[in-house]
Copies of this chain bind each other. A is one copy, B any other.
Amino acid sequence: MEADTRSRILDAAESLFMEHGFDATTLRMITAEAHANLAAVNYHFGSKEALIEEVFRRRLTWLNEQRIAALDALEAEAQGAPLKPRQIVESFFGVAIRMAADSAGGRTFMRLLGRTYTEPSEFVRRFLAEEYAAVIARYKAAFFKALPDVPQEEFLWRFHFMMGAMSYAVSGADALRILGPIDDPDPEALYARLMSFLIGGLRAPLPEIHSKPARKPRSPRSA
């Protein structure tokens, strides 16, 4: 608990960003929680925006390195043969679920990341795209090789859907409570549940793209 000021600020910011969002979180809240002085943020990071970037960078870099290392290991073992989809899914999302299971800030961070992924805030999304570029390229290649029968565009959407399911998975029981009372699952169970679901979705029969022109009643624009 008594890390240096810089780390305490990052921990506090991560937690408060998750709970209140970027804008609603003030530097005053952060420094109060971190038992640091208000001016310390600008001293250590230069600006609030730079602090946000650093909150992501310190964990995301590590996370994606783990993913690439996991893929390296799988591909070395396969000796050029295509991997099983299940292996690829497990290596990509497993690393994330494991981080989310980390009792320290890992869970908080993964929830924050999932929420941020769809936020339209220009500067955060550009930053994320850069951080992800390398790992995405590797996994796309691995998936395309493993699933040659799935059109690439179809696969990209399924990957996107998987990210959505994963994001809600780590966002956890808080959100789920809208569906009704439920226990917070232990991480192993959550991992198993999510993997079944993801593999099921990934391997589902391909859709008929020219499908039904679903009835479309007019939606109201005002009360």
Contact = CB atoms under 8 A, between A and B. Distances in A.
Interface in A64-109: 66, 94, 97-99, 101-102, 104-106
A77 to B, nearest CB: 15
A154 B21 contact: no
B18 A221 contact: no
Interface residues of A, number: 105
Interface in A182-223: 182-183, 185, 188-217, 219-223
Interface in A138-193: 140, 153-154, 156-169, 171, 174-180, 182-183, 185, 188-193
B189 A209 contact: yes
Contacts of A199: 204
A108 B114 CA distance: 19
A28 interface: no
A171 B118 contact: yes
B204 A161 contact: no
Tell me whether chain A's interface is mostly helix, strand or loop, or mixed: helix
A188 B213 contact: yes
B160 A168 contact: yes
Given A214-B98, A222-B6, A163 B156 contact: no
Given A164-B168, A219-B99, A119 B115 contact: yes
Interface of A: 3-4, 6-7, 10-11, 18-24, 54, 57-59, 62-63, 66, 94, 97-99, 101-102, 104-106, 111, 114-115, 117-121, 125, 128-129, 132, 136, 140, 153-154, 156-169, 171, 174-180, 182-183, 185, 188-217, 219-223
